A and B are shown apart, each in its own frame.
Chain A
Amino acid sequence: MTRRMIFDRRHLLQGAAAGLAASALGARPAAAATVTIGFIYVGPKDDYGYNQAHAEGAAAVKKLRGVTVIEEEKVPETIDVVKTMESMINLEGASLLFPTSFGYFNPFVLQAASKYPQTEFRHCGGLWTDKNPKNAGSYFGYIGSCQYLNGVVAGHMTKTKKLGFVAAKPIPQVLLNINSFLLGARSVDPDITCRVIFTGEWSLAVKEAEAANALLDQGVDVVTCHVDSPKVVVQTAAARGAYVCGYHADQRPLAPERYLTGAEWNWATVYKTYVEKFLAGQPLPNFTRGGLAEGFVKTSPLGAMAPDAARRQFEAKKAEMTKGGYAIVAGPLKDNKGALVVPAGKKYLETAVELESMNYLVEGVIGAIS
């Protein structure tokens, strides 16, 4: 039933649009010359968050010549995404798909890639390896660097030395962000701690608001988050007088007085590179990663409330990271249970693939993975 609803809805609109175009031009416009590219989002594409960041990238692709972009929002991380991918391939002739949510990758994208070897699949955040189909692949950005910079500013702004982090699920990317945020803050003052609350879901407005309130009740005075739509966390924390650091996209318009800076994606770079290669008939890379240096991620402009010391350290660190090859995770580093996770002298550059299977919270983070 769901499947029929999905493509019925799109087809209804498309049919109406095609009908209008045909009646206006007297003939169906030539479709063969363009390449159809599909974007799939797990939530609404104007959510001030994860999906909006990807949709802004898709909007940049739309401006390229010879490209038709099709999009579908609110596709759950279940068999539904397979139905969406199949309808995009079989009914709309899509030859390159970007399923953007983490949970799509295994098994759905991998299975679809085996079944449709002529179609290219590039997934955001999955860990593609040599054993996976060659027409699949993954891309991601080292946004941990930006969370580190968030932490630097937060470390200068906090008076209580308590930071707060509202997190969705304890997956490696989220853990890396939490750890980076605290390590950034500890580069300013090693006594700072960070309380983390996991809500268990990517988007759960009431629980996110409760989490923000619980953190503030503990005396936390700078909050950031890793949930799909940071809008609720930003608004709730700012309304109670805390400072906030953004995530995914720029949330400054929601709380201009309280928004310090933010870790943002810059997917336009990634998608345009892929699509230009695809149009030129070149093979697409299977494994793409990049950080500040490659322009995959960016920071929101630093707010005027940040003192000069914060601004200097923020700009200096950002310049250092933009050169590439920066290591946030460097030994000696203990986890928050006291075990040594990174021995002295060992460094993980942001490019280190080990970081994508992180399973600990560093010392100073108050919280647990399970």
Chain B
Amino acid sequence: MQTTDIGYWSVPLAIVGGAIRVSTPFIFVSLGETITERAGRANIGLEGILIFGAMSAYATAVLSNSPWLGVAAAGVSGIAAGLLHGWICKFPRVNDIAIGIALMLLGTGLAFFFGKAFIQPSAPRLPAISLGFWSDIPQLRAALDVNALFVIGAALAVFLQWAFRNTRAGLILRTVGDSSDAARAMGIDPDRVRLLATAAGGGLAAIGGGYLSLYYPGSWNESISSGQGLMAVALVVFSRWNPLGCFAAALLFGGAGALGPALQSVGVTHGYYLFYAAPYALTLAIMIATSSPGRALAGAPCELSITR
């Protein structure tokens, strides 16, 4: 193995590399949740869908030897779970937060149950696109090994940002999210729109799970997610229901998460528990810095149960 000594440069490099490696599940889950919440419904069960997606992607990839088929299977499982959430929430006086919690426990439990047999086998990994081919430094090349799902996630963020404002579907989605009555007056069935929005959100979250088990860290076990789905749902609020904001927040979160290991590897070894808290501390700091009593919920869909 060839190496070049890059000393302290490895810290910024690790942050960039970490942002690319770790952020993808956050991007997919938070974009999915943005679609759902823009339609006026919250699905906080995405953690369960993420874990179930990770398991179904891994299991399918092991059995079929095709990682992309695994990603597709994850997407289908996520859509099914989203449809379940959307269908239950259609009934009067059903609380979407409570259903979300139920779905989180259900998804996690089912994934552990069906995933038992797949902890040992190795699945084929998703291929990486090498964007660092121009460099001679192996560390840089490793950091710039980008997975196609990351690129798709980035493109999706741009597309959603545009589509929310400039397409008919985006308008319908936002109308439903801001006022059910206005939507009904336009002849739109809000429940139907929310059902589809929740299904789309579930599908994306499960694909994020597929990235976890099939690319990075690229293994299925029961602690694979460790709360990433929950954190991604929080990132949606943090980025104020804005797709590009979700993308940026996910990058920030991934990069800050790489800080702890990177600092230890160059010999800054004291207080690593503190560095491990960096992503959360940073999120809190930005929340405080950007908050103001006047526009606390600017950008929040009005029909969301947390704003109603």
Best-buried of A199, A214, A242 by chain B (most CB within 10 Å): A214
- 1/0 contact string of A316-339 vs chain B (CB within 8 Å): 000000000000000000000000
Task: Please tell me if A232 contacts chain B, counting CB pairs below 8 Å.
Answer: yes
Pairwise interchain contact B219-A196, C-beta atoms closer than 8 A: no
Task: Please tell me if B224 contacts chain A, counting CB pairs below 8 Å.
Answer: yes
Cα distance A301–B14 in the bound complex, in angstroms:
34
Task: Please tell me if A209 contacts chain B, counting CB pairs below 8 Å.
Answer: yes
Pairwise interchain contact B1-A235, C-beta atoms closer than 8 A: no
A210 in contact with B22 given A205-B221, A217-B262, A218-B266 (CB within 8 Å):
yes
Task: Please tell me if A216 contacts chain B, counting CB pairs below 8 Å.
Answer: yes
Task: Please tell me if A198 contacts chain B, counting CB pairs below 8 Å.
Answer: yes
Task: Please tell me if A307 contacts chain B, counting CB pairs below 8 Å.
Answer: no
Pairwise interchain contact A207-B222, C-beta atoms closer than 8 A: no
Pairwise interchain contact B226-A214, C-beta atoms closer than 8 A: no
Could you say which residues of chain A place their CB within 8 Å of the CB of B6?
217
Q: Which of A164, A203, A211, A221 contacts B223 (CB 8 A)?
A: A203
- 1/0 contact string of B228-255 vs chain A (CB within 8 Å): 1000000000000000000000000000
Could you say which residues of chain A place their CB within 8 Å of the CB of B14?
210, 213-214, 217
Cα distance A44–B228 in the bound complex, in angstroms:
20
- 1/0 contact string of A212-239 vs chain B (CB within 8 Å): 0111111111000000010110011000
Pairwise interchain contact B269-A205, C-beta atoms closer than 8 A: no
Pairwise interchain contact B219-A205, C-beta atoms closer than 8 A: yes
Pairwise interchain contact A205-B224, C-beta atoms closer than 8 A: yes
Task: Please tell me if B139 contacts chain A, counting CB pairs below 8 Å.
Answer: yes
Binds B, one of A25-33, A98-106, A362-370: A362-370
How far, in Å, is B264 (CB) from chain A's closest CB? 4
Pairwise interchain contact B122-A218, C-beta atoms closer than 8 A: no
Pairwise interchain contact B221-A203, C-beta atoms closer than 8 A: yes
How far, in Å, is A185 (CB) from chain B's closest CB? 17
Pairwise interchain contact B119-A46, C-beta atoms closer than 8 A: yes
Pairwise interchain contact B269-A367, C-beta atoms closer than 8 A: yes
- 1/0 contact string of A342-370 vs chain B (CB within 8 Å): 00000000000000000000000011101
Q: How many residues of B contact A (CB 8 A)?
A: 46
Task: Please tell me if A204 contacts chain B, counting CB pairs below 8 Å.
Answer: yes
Pairwise interchain contact A218-B226, C-beta atoms closer than 8 A: no
A215 in contact with B265 given A44-B119, A203-B221 (CB within 8 Å):
yes
Task: Please tell me if A206 contacts chain B, counting CB pairs below 8 Å.
Answer: yes
A206 in contact with B217 given A200-B273, A240-B1 (CB within 8 Å):
yes
Could you say which residues of chain B place their CB within 8 Å of the CB of A235?
122, 217-219
Task: Please tell me if A74 contacts chain B, counting CB pairs below 8 Å.
Answer: yes
A143-160 interface (Cβ within 8 A of B): 159-160
Q: Which of B5, B216, B228, B265 contacts A214 (CB 8 A)?
A: B265
Task: Please tell me if B120 contacts chain A, counting CB pairs below 8 Å.
Answer: yes
A218 in contact with B265 given A48-B120, A198-B272 (CB within 8 Å):
yes
Could you say which residues of chain A place their CB within 8 Å of the CB of B221?
43-44, 47, 203, 205, 229, 231
Task: Please tell me if B172 contacts chain A, counting CB pairs below 8 Å.
Answer: no
Pairwise interchain contact B217-A236, C-beta atoms closer than 8 A: yes
Task: Please tell me if B193 contacts chain A, counting CB pairs below 8 Å.
Answer: no
How far, in Å, is A286 (CB) from chain B's closest CB? 33
B12-53 interface (Cβ within 8 A of A): 13-14, 17-18, 21-22
A205 in contact with B264 given A213-B21, A241-B1 (CB within 8 Å):
no
How far, in Å, is A231 (CB) from chain B's closest CB? 5
How far, in Å, is A212 (CB) from chain B's closest CB? 9
Cα distance A200–B270 in the bound complex, in angstroms:
13
Cα distance A272–B104 in the bound complex, in angstroms:
41
Task: Please tell me if B84 contacts chain A, counting CB pairs below 8 Å.
Answer: no
- 1/0 contact string of B270-293 vs chain A (CB within 8 Å): 111100100000000000000000
Task: Please tell me if B10 contacts chain A, counting CB pairs below 8 Å.
Answer: yes
- 1/0 contact string of B88-119 vs chain A (CB within 8 Å): 00000000000000000000000010001001
Cα distance A200–B275 in the bound complex, in angstroms:
11
Task: Please tell me if A254 contacts chain B, counting CB pairs below 8 Å.
Answer: yes
Cα distance A367–B264 in the bound complex, in angstroms:
7
Cα distance A211–B262 in the bound complex, in angstroms:
7
Task: Please tell me if A195 contacts chain B, counting CB pairs below 8 Å.
Answer: yes
Task: Please tell me if B188 contacts chain A, counting CB pairs below 8 Å.
Answer: no
Task: Please tell me if A208 contacts chain B, counting CB pairs below 8 Å.
Answer: yes
Cα distance A217–B8 in the bound complex, in angstroms:
10
Pairwise interchain contact A210-B258, C-beta atoms closer than 8 A: yes
Task: Please tell me if B307 contacts chain A, counting CB pairs below 8 Å.
Answer: no
Cα distance A236–B21 in the bound complex, in angstroms:
12
Task: Please tell me if A197 contacts chain B, counting CB pairs below 8 Å.
Answer: yes
A217 in contact with B10 given A47-B221, A48-B120, A366-B267 (CB within 8 Å):
yes
How far, in Å, is B239 (CB) from chain A's closest CB? 21
Cα distance A241–B221 in the bound complex, in angstroms:
24
How far, in Å, is A222 (CB) from chain B's closest CB? 10
Closest-by-CB residue of A relative to B222 is A44
Pairwise interchain contact A47-B22, C-beta atoms closer than 8 A: no
Pairwise interchain contact A206-B222, C-beta atoms closer than 8 A: no
Best-buried of B1, B266, B270, B271 by chain A (most CB within 10 Å): B1
Task: Please tell me if B154 contacts chain A, counting CB pairs below 8 Å.
Answer: no
Task: Please tell me if B142 contacts chain A, counting CB pairs below 8 Å.
Answer: yes
Q: Which of A160, A204, A209, A241 contacts B216 (CB 8 A)?
A: A209
Task: Please tell me if B170 contacts chain A, counting CB pairs below 8 Å.
Answer: no
- 1/0 contact string of A152-179 vs chain B (CB within 8 Å): 0000000110001000000000000000
Best-buried of B22, B116, B223 by chain A (most CB within 10 Å): B223
Task: Please tell me if B257 contacts chain A, counting CB pairs below 8 Å.
Answer: yes
Task: Please tell me if B3 contacts chain A, counting CB pairs below 8 Å.
Answer: yes
14 contacts across the A-B interface (CB closer than 8 A): A46-B119, A195-B264, A197-B265, A200-B273, A205-B226, A207-B257, A213-B261, A214-B14, A214-B258, A214-B261, A219-B3, A220-B265, A235-B218, A235-B219
Closest 6 CB pairs of A and B: A368-B269, A209-B217, A214-B265, A214-B261, A241-B1, A219-B3
Chain A residues with CB under 8 Å of chain B are 43-44, 46-48, 74, 159-160, 164, 195-200, 203-211, 213-221, 229, 231-232, 235-236, 240-242, 253-254, 366-368, 370
* Besides A205-B219, A207-B261, A218-B10, 4 new A-B residue pairs in contact (Cβ under 8 A), listed by A number: A43-B222, A44-B221, A210-B257, A210-B258
